[in-house]
Amino acid sequence: MIACPSCDALYRVQVPPKGGRATCARCGTVLIRPIAGAGMRIIALTLSITILVTAAVFFPFLEIHASGIGNKTSLLNVATSFRSGILVLVSVATVSMIVLIPLMRTLLLLYVLVPVVFDRPPARHARHAFRLAQEIKPWAMTEIFAIGCAVALVKISDLAQLGFGPAFWMFAVLVVIVVINDSYMCTWSVWESLEESEG
């Protein structure tokens, strides 16, 4: 049996052929979508996300010039610039959601998927790791951050001269890779292969 994650309708599992998809008859949510060779692609994309997120923390994100004064800042600067008060909490929460949680998620996914894709026995506690990766997904807000920044940039572009640092472009690429990666990821297929290989 498989339950629709959106509307909880229950179905008897009928695996579609590779490239096909099984959708929920009630709400249209895609339930199963096996893609040939998806495993390797997901691993490659997840690896690039890991590298990009890590690098994006250290490179300058934004340069601002207004009336002769300029400033360059990276996410690391932002995260460590508040010393006291409620802003410390805000910056910790922000950095967790745009950096730490996405990183944790990519590492968990690699931990679960690498052995499965290379036909090895699953890693220890692979099921727990995969479940955790699914549970923290809503808190991985890299894309939302990037979109928020784009909106903010449009608003302040009248007030100051803006320059984008390397980290900005890394985030732009990240948004695209995260979306492609999620589209390859068939949760049901991962569970299924974890179960098969555990016997």
Q: Of the candidates 178, 195, 191, which has an alpha carbon nearest to the alpha carbon of residue 48?
A: 178
Nearest-5° angle of CA 54, CA 59, CA 64? Answer: 140
Residues 8-67 that bind Zn ion (CB under 5 A): 9, 24, 26-27, 29
Determine the longest span between alpha carbons in the chain, in angstroms: 68
Closest distance to Zn ion from the beta carbon of 28 (Å): 7
Select the residue interacting with Zn ion from 3, 6, 128, 179 (CB under 5 A). 6
- Rounded least distance, CB 133 to Zn ion, Å: 22
3-state secondary structure of 106: helix
Q: Nearer Cβ to Zn ion, position 27 or 172?
A: 27
Pick 11 or 184: Cβ nearer Zn ion: 11
Query: Is residue 4 at the binding interface for Zn ion, with CB under 5 A as the rule?
Result: yes
What's the min distance (Å) between Cβ of 131 and Zn ion? 20
Beta partners for residue 60, in sequence order: 74
Of the candidates 133, 124, 146, which has an alpha carbon nearest to the alpha carbon of residue 106? 133
Non-local (6+) Cβ contacts of 10 within 8 A are: 1, 2, 3, 4
Q: Which is nearer to Zn ion, 21 or 65 (CB)?
A: 21
By rule CB under 5 A, what count of residues binds Zn ion?
8
β-pair partners for 72: 63
Whichever of 27 and 144 has its CB closer to Zn ion, that residue is 27
| 7 makes contact with Zn ion (CB under 5 A) | yes
